[in-house]
Amino acid sequence: MRFTFLPLFILASWAAAAPVAERDGVAYIAPASNGGSQLDKSAGLGEPLNIIVSGLSSSKVLTDDGIKNWARSYGFSTECLGLHIGDKQQANLGDGKGYKDELAVIRQDFGNVGLGTCLESLTGGNHFRMWRQETTGAYFLAASKEKPASKNHDIVSDGYNIGRDQVVAAATGDTNYKGVKYHTTVEFVTGLLPVGSDGINHGIALDGRVAVLTVTAS
């Protein structure tokens, strides 16, 4: 029997591609474990990244468009007429990329994918900002319930916990959008976020729970 020994430079090239393979089977990595934070930057304080779409989710979900279409399946969509008002918030997910701008703001659409988010912008409601963790493919979402535009979109009392819970309630179970069926399960974890209001934007207390969602698309 003959054995073929590959040159070291070929083996090295395979090893360089390993991070993609190693990513498989990892739901997420805690940002704080590698210099990041589970709080984004907002007005000098932080807003909680209180939902994680697991890296174990279907690959068609784990893209920017995939997250947006999944959101449309349970009553959320992109901003009114594609317009964004206000500064983009930033987050450091501990993936070696430092602080990055939010990828999008997704708002409650009240059953109208095209124009419903205009109503949310005007009257208030639920929304989330999103970032992608490059080392795992997971998406980190900062969900909150906000007041109307006339009140500067300030967050309602207990709005971070409420925002998270409303997104989770809408998303879990079976949903669909344009022929794609989604099945979403949830697990709540602690230890990623603080409990209380210290360092939190608007002085709104957190219960310390993060919802980890695993989304299967078919």
For a pLDDT cut of 70, what percent of the chain falls above it? Answer: 84
For a pLDDT cut of 90, what percent of the chain falls above it? Answer: 69
Relative to beta strand 99-101, strand 90-92 is antiparallel
**Which comes out higher in pLDDT, residue 153 or 162?**
162
* Residue 69: per-residue pLDDT: 97
Quote the pTM value: 0.85
Locate tokens 């070929």: which residue? 10
Instruction: Identify whether the C-beta of residue 78 lies closer than 8 Å to the C-beta of residue 64.
Output: no
Q: Specify whether the backbone of 35 is left (phi greater than 0), alpha (psi in -120 to 50) or beta.
A: left
Sign of CA dihedral 80, 140, 94, 21: negative
Sign of CA dihedral 47, 50, 56, 57: negative
Q: Which two tokens stand for residue 167?
A: 């997104």
Give the mean model confidence (pLDDT) for residues 107-127.
80
Give residue 153's pLDDT band: very low, low, confident or very high (50, 70, 90). low
pLDDT of 133 strictly over 80: yes
Rounded CA-CA distance 132/23 in Å is 13
Q: Which amino acid is at 33?
A: S
Locate tokens 């419903």: which residue? 116
